[in-house]
A and B are shown apart, each in its own frame.
Chain A
């Protein structure tokens, strides 16, 4: 099982709804974001410029460096693929934050523990999808088990075709599982770090 997200950047219009709906759903503190919308570009020479939006969040790596670095075992990866933080075990040392290549983790100064996207586990348990997926106005976000060919993520990836599917660059061999769909018609995928 590999629960993860697929984001269709052809569709994403950079409206920040996912960022704000995540905050609403999960009570994320001011100044922190579990799902940050970045703007890539405009790049190129005017007027032949391209631009796209890149929502970034925990990439649910298959071999997560955060889990490896965590001294207390607070960060762990579930069998279904979701990487979580057990707040009771977290001592707030923030080593995982340094280890994450994507800046996907945040330190909560009030609770003094690290936090990040949980793929809205509480909503999944109620049979629902993550808030960011439900709230996306452009229907650009998909959630599901990448190992299941009938899941939303698998279907989206299949429709896009492997040439148009990208992932964020690795650091070492962490194997991020989140995938981004981007066709050249919209823009050329830029290898960049968020």
Chain B
């Protein structure tokens, strides 16, 4: 008793703090309040708790957007599983999606807006309110516009990371800056989309990228008659296991034959009938050989080629332009093209769609009114003539016999299709590769019939339930200033700028300085080529804003951090086949914000500061036919669902998924044969000639004017873009001088547990792949003195990084593979996590660039490898280390077993 008394006295003394009540008087509002009776206040016992709700939502761990059932108990997400209602994923969900809970509840999430204190890189931050953050940014934007011009503000995003991809483009249109970029675009999907749009005209999804949710025919394995698939530089088992990966499993199980063209043995390659381990960067050589073989052996669909492509049309050899009726006679139509009629041995106009009285020559050289002309087909045949199978095999490091088998597998098993992946978008021969693959499928007649990949299933009004650019807001003067745009008009497809030119302007101030950078994406320093140059150039910027869910290397150099919502905190509309699904915010943490809502808020503030176009952007009449900015995000959601299915967001969420089109009206074939009631003639393809324009005169028009993607005619590029594919040997290649010091060809590719630069901080996923592996053939390993599991140095002309060796026979000799990587555990150290094992330190932002859209080189360059003493300091590669994702208790205290 005495002891206790003493303790009480001591305690009383020790806890009597004078002035404490007064100090607390200026306090914050209570954190705990009276519970509302309506709330689910279940009993506190372990067995019966609050009920678990199942909320339908859509994943966004990658761009596959698979359907998800989120189990939510009392505001906490406890489990995720796939939603069987989703017709693409069919209830499947991959490891990345399942890790969504770890991503959502990761304590290192960006929680509140932060502004930098002290110098950039010191990593000192102070929390600010959203008001202050947005006001600061808007004020700086307006100052910059005043002093340097709106073009001094550059934006960026990530195609993989940002569900609302065009949000920053739209804001910049309104603000008046033409400059935004993403590390993808010309280096990802845009080359394919642009080429297929011009050649086939099937709209934005009229291409064969399976990872971008096209190739919809493949998701009906029991109905589709497809016989053979070529996976060209794509690995759906890695890039989209529940959608493309699953679809291929079902098709292979039903006897569909596959060819995989990939230097590394991916799961799809392992299960293919033929594996062509191609030298990276040489795809156009191989495609040329395929085209030549198909022409020589007459394996193409002759009727389709004649009637539905522009290959029989005559081309003026000198001007490279197609002949038109107006060239033959005055008053002739500019829209009617010319063929060589073998019956009369004269050039004759060919009325659309065809004239059975004519017998057009498919191949041949002719003279028309004194001008040398050839058919498109002839020009194509001549272009690919040098590429015999033997020659291609030599260039591409392949077995000629296997190459021929592969072409035959594709060409003699119809219908077939070429799924073209991102690999060919990663080097300067990007658009030409797309031209090759598109030409092949179109010449084979692999289009718009059952069993083909190129389809125009009904879109309805629901093409873009995302923010769209407001192109009309960007003046002609400003459009002309878009960096890299005049020379590479293909960038107009996505209304975006060229990273290399933006870097140059940022670094040198030429042709004009850049002063503000707003980025909505993960880790730019892991994704752009030559990040060191960017870090140096960033020193010239007055304001850098980073919008993302976590701190990344890029954040370390920023001035303001804005916390973005995770996919489990986001409301959005997602399309799958003919259905619309709702991505739902099942919870909300801290003060994260959907970035879709950030940009209208910036526009509001700029409007208040006098920016007229920012004011107009809220006026539906001014933005028509595009939607305006809305006051609240709820209004934006309503506008999307109303435009698509005439419902409010609330209604839509109750009913989702909703068919925006009945299935049988959606899955339509032979769209090109549909009769257009206005003309009484077939609709044809979505090109100016209504035929598949395998001879791409459109490339010349694009180079000279920017048509069809521009809002104003633009000055010409320095030279015309070639209407036909051509092969460019990789600039850095083993036979060049550089090959002596750097003998191996580097390539990249996806892994199933990550999506681009994301998820490196998620323990479940990181423990499966703790560090990037460099795959190397046993012969090359031996020559380089490295063994399986060794820590390596990997070097290019541009830099040096580390990796861990995976010696494997599943790798083409002479080629090495490594995926992009950054190390979150390095953030806050001198490397800031982007210098240890980041393969893009090795890649090249220098010329040569792709002529049409400016692609630089992130695959297909030369490297060397050597053994290193150990891992980079500070890198975590043991599973236990990911438990230390948070600080280890500094005392060896174990969490107490809580007994309830």
- For the complex, is A102 an interface residue (Cβ under 8 Å from B)? no
| Inter-chain contact A20/B764, CB cutoff 8 Å | yes
| Inter-chain contact B275/A47, CB cutoff 8 Å | yes
Q: Mark B295-310, 1 if CB is under 8 A from A, else 0.
A: 0000000000000000
Contacts of B238 in A (CB 8 A): 15
| Inter-chain contact A135/B98, CB cutoff 8 Å | yes
Complex CA distance for A11 and B765, rounded to whole angstroms: 22
| Inter-chain contact A139/B249, CB cutoff 8 Å | yes
Query: In the complex, which residues 67-110 of chain A have their Cβ closer than 8 Å to any Cβ of chain B?
Result: 110
In the assembled complex, the CB of A184 is this many whole angstroms from the nearest CB of chain B, namely 13
Contacts of B81 in A (CB 8 A): 21, 134-135
| Residue of A14, A25, A46, A50 most packed against chain B (CB within 10 A) | A46
Query: In the complex, which residues 11-57 of chain A have their Cβ closer than 8 Å to any Cβ of chain B?
Result: 11, 13-17, 19-21, 23-25, 30-31, 41-47, 49-53
Complex CA distance for A63 and B871, rounded to whole angstroms: 44
Complex CA distance for A24 and B99, rounded to whole angstroms: 8
- For the complex, is A113 an interface residue (Cβ under 8 Å from B)? no
| Inter-chain contact A17/B270, CB cutoff 8 Å | no
Query: In the complex, which residues 88-118 of chain B have their Cβ closer than 8 Å to any Cβ of chain A?
Result: 89, 92-95, 98-99, 101
Complex CA distance for A140 and B811, rounded to whole angstroms: 26
In the assembled complex, the CB of B409 is this many whole angstroms from the nearest CB of chain A, namely 15
- With A20-B765, A134-B81, A137-B245 in contact, do A14 and B95 touch (Cβ < 8 Å)? no
Contacts of B242 in A (CB 8 A): 17, 137
| Inter-chain contact B249/A138, CB cutoff 8 Å | yes
In the assembled complex, the CB of A158 is this many whole angstroms from the nearest CB of chain B, namely 16
- For the complex, is A173 an interface residue (Cβ under 8 Å from B)? no
- For the complex, is A187 an interface residue (Cβ under 8 Å from B)? yes
Contacts of B752 in A (CB 8 A): 14-17
Complex CA distance for A41 and B811, rounded to whole angstroms: 12
| Inter-chain contact B810/A17, CB cutoff 8 Å | no
Complex CA distance for A11 and B92, rounded to whole angstroms: 14
| Inter-chain contact A23/B764, CB cutoff 8 Å | yes
| Inter-chain contact B265/A42, CB cutoff 8 Å | yes
In the assembled complex, the CB of A150 is this many whole angstroms from the nearest CB of chain B, namely 22
- For the complex, is B879 an interface residue (Cβ under 8 Å from A)? yes
For chain A, give the interface size range: 35 or more
Contacts of A19 in B (CB 8 A): 95, 768
| Residue of A23, A31, A43, A135 most packed against chain B (CB within 10 A) | A135
Query: In the complex, which residues 787-832 of chain B have their Cβ closer than 8 Å to any Cβ of chain A?
Result: 808-813
In the assembled complex, the CB of B58 is this many whole angstroms from the nearest CB of chain A, namely 16
| Inter-chain contact B98/A46, CB cutoff 8 Å | no
- With A11-B249, A137-B92 in contact, do A16 and B277 touch (Cβ < 8 Å)? no
Contacts of A20 in B (CB 8 A): 95, 98-99, 764-765, 768
Q: Which of A46, A134, A135 contacts B809 (CB 8 A)?
A: A46
Contacts of A21 in B (CB 8 A): 81, 95, 98
| Inter-chain contact A17/B879, CB cutoff 8 Å | no
Contacts of B79 in A (CB 8 A): 24-25
Complex CA distance for A118 and B612, rounded to whole angstroms: 65
- For the complex, is B589 an interface residue (Cβ under 8 Å from A)? no
Q: Which of B253, B763, B808 contacts A42 (CB 8 A)?
A: B808
Q: Mark A128-154, 1 if CB is under 8 A from B, else 0.
A: 000000111111100000000000000
Q: Which of B249, B764, B809 contacts A44 (CB 8 A)?
A: B809
Of chain A, the residue at the smallest CB distance from B100 is A24
Q: Which of A30, A44, A46 contacts B883 (CB 8 A)?
A: A30
| Inter-chain contact B92/A135, CB cutoff 8 Å | yes
Contacts of B80 in A (CB 8 A): 24
In the assembled complex, the CB of A140 is this many whole angstroms from the nearest CB of chain B, namely 7
Complex CA distance for A51 and B811, rounded to whole angstroms: 12
Contacts of B704 in A (CB 8 A): none
| Inter-chain contact A47/B267, CB cutoff 8 Å | no
Complex CA distance for A14 and B236, rounded to whole angstroms: 12
In the assembled complex, the CB of A49 is this many whole angstroms from the nearest CB of chain B, namely 5
Q: Which of A134, A137, A139 contacts B94 (CB 8 A)?
A: A137
| Inter-chain contact A45/B809, CB cutoff 8 Å | yes
| Inter-chain contact B267/A31, CB cutoff 8 Å | no
| Inter-chain contact B253/A11, CB cutoff 8 Å | yes
| Inter-chain contact A31/B82, CB cutoff 8 Å | no
- For the complex, is B237 an interface residue (Cβ under 8 Å from A)? yes
Complex CA distance for A134 and B93, rounded to whole angstroms: 10
| Inter-chain contact B237/A16, CB cutoff 8 Å | no
In the assembled complex, the CB of B326 is this many whole angstroms from the nearest CB of chain A, namely 54
- For the complex, is A10 an interface residue (Cβ under 8 Å from B)? yes
In the assembled complex, the CB of A129 is this many whole angstroms from the nearest CB of chain B, namely 12
| Inter-chain contact B277/A15, CB cutoff 8 Å | no
- With A42-B810, A43-B809 in contact, do A16 and B95 touch (Cβ < 8 Å)? yes
| Inter-chain contact B399/A47, CB cutoff 8 Å | yes
Contacts of B246 in A (CB 8 A): 137-139
- With A47-B277, A137-B93 in contact, do A13 and B249 touch (Cβ < 8 Å)? yes
- With A15-B95, A24-B79, A42-B808 in contact, do A51 and B879 touch (Cβ < 8 Å)? no
Of chain B, the residue at the smallest CB distance from A131 is B81
Q: Which of A30, A45, A186 contacts B767 (CB 8 A)?
A: A30
Q: Mark B856-900, 1 if CB is under 8 A from A, else 0.
A: 000000000000000000000011101100000000001000000
In the assembled complex, the CB of B495 is this many whole angstroms from the nearest CB of chain A, namely 35
Of chain A, the residue at the smallest CB distance from B250 is A139
| Inter-chain contact B810/A51, CB cutoff 8 Å | yes
| Inter-chain contact B265/A49, CB cutoff 8 Å | yes
| Inter-chain contact A13/B245, CB cutoff 8 Å | yes
- With A14-B752, A17-B95, A20-B765 in contact, do A53 and B267 touch (Cβ < 8 Å)? yes
| Inter-chain contact A10/B94, CB cutoff 8 Å | no
| Inter-chain contact B253/A137, CB cutoff 8 Å | no
- For the complex, is B753 an interface residue (Cβ under 8 Å from A)? yes
| Inter-chain contact A46/B241, CB cutoff 8 Å | no
| Residue of B82, B89, B777 most packed against chain A (CB within 10 A) | B82
- With A41-B810, A187-B270 in contact, do A15 and B768 touch (Cβ < 8 Å)? no
Of chain A, the residue at the smallest CB distance from B883 is A30
Of chain A, the residue at the smallest CB distance from B95 is A20
Of chain A, the residue at the smallest CB distance from B267 is A13
Of chain A, the residue at the smallest CB distance from B765 is A20
Of chain A, the residue at the smallest CB distance from B810 is A42
Contacts of B241 in A (CB 8 A): 13, 15, 17, 137-138
Q: Mark B499-518, 1 if CB is under 8 A from A, else 0.
A: 00000000000000000000
Contacts of B253 in A (CB 8 A): 10-11
- For the complex, is B271 an interface residue (Cβ under 8 Å from A)? yes
Query: In the complex, which residues 754-770 of chain B have their Cβ closer than 8 Å to any Cβ of chain A?
Result: 763-765, 767-768
Of chain B, the residue at the smallest CB distance from A11 is B249
Contacts of A42 in B (CB 8 A): 265, 270, 808-810
Of chain A, the residue at the smallest CB distance from B276 is A47
Complex CA distance for A49 and B82, rounded to whole angstroms: 34
Of chain A, the residue at the smallest CB distance from B92 is A137
Complex CA distance for A11 and B271, rounded to whole angstroms: 9
Complex CA distance for A50 and B808, rounded to whole angstroms: 11
Query: In the complex, which residues 45-96 of chain B have their Cβ closer than 8 Å to any Cβ of chain A?
Result: 79-82, 89, 92-95
Contacts of B101 in A (CB 8 A): 24
Contacts of B268 in A (CB 8 A): 13
Q: Mark B258-283, 1 if CB is under 8 A from A, else 0.
A: 00000001011011000101000000
| Inter-chain contact B882/A30, CB cutoff 8 Å | yes
| Residue of A17, A19, A31 most packed against chain B (CB within 10 A) | A17
Extra A-B contacts (17), CB below 8 Å, given A13-B268, A17-B752, A137-B92: A20-B768, A21-B81, A23-B764, A30-B882, A31-B878, A31-B879, A41-B270, A44-B809, A47-B275, A47-B402, A47-B812, A137-B94, A137-B245, A138-B241, A138-B245, A139-B249, A140-B249
Sample 6 A-B pairs with CB under 8 A, ordered by A number. A16-B95, A17-B95, A21-B98, A25-B79, A53-B267, A135-B93
Binding site for A on B (CB under 8 A): 79-82, 89, 92-95, 98-99, 101, 237-238, 241-242, 245-246, 249-250, 252-253, 265, 267-268, 270-271, 275, 277, 399, 402, 752-753, 763-765, 767-768, 777, 808-813, 878-880, 882-883, 894
Binding site for B on A (CB under 8 A): 10-11, 13-17, 19-21, 23-25, 30-31, 41-47, 49-53, 110, 134-140, 186-187
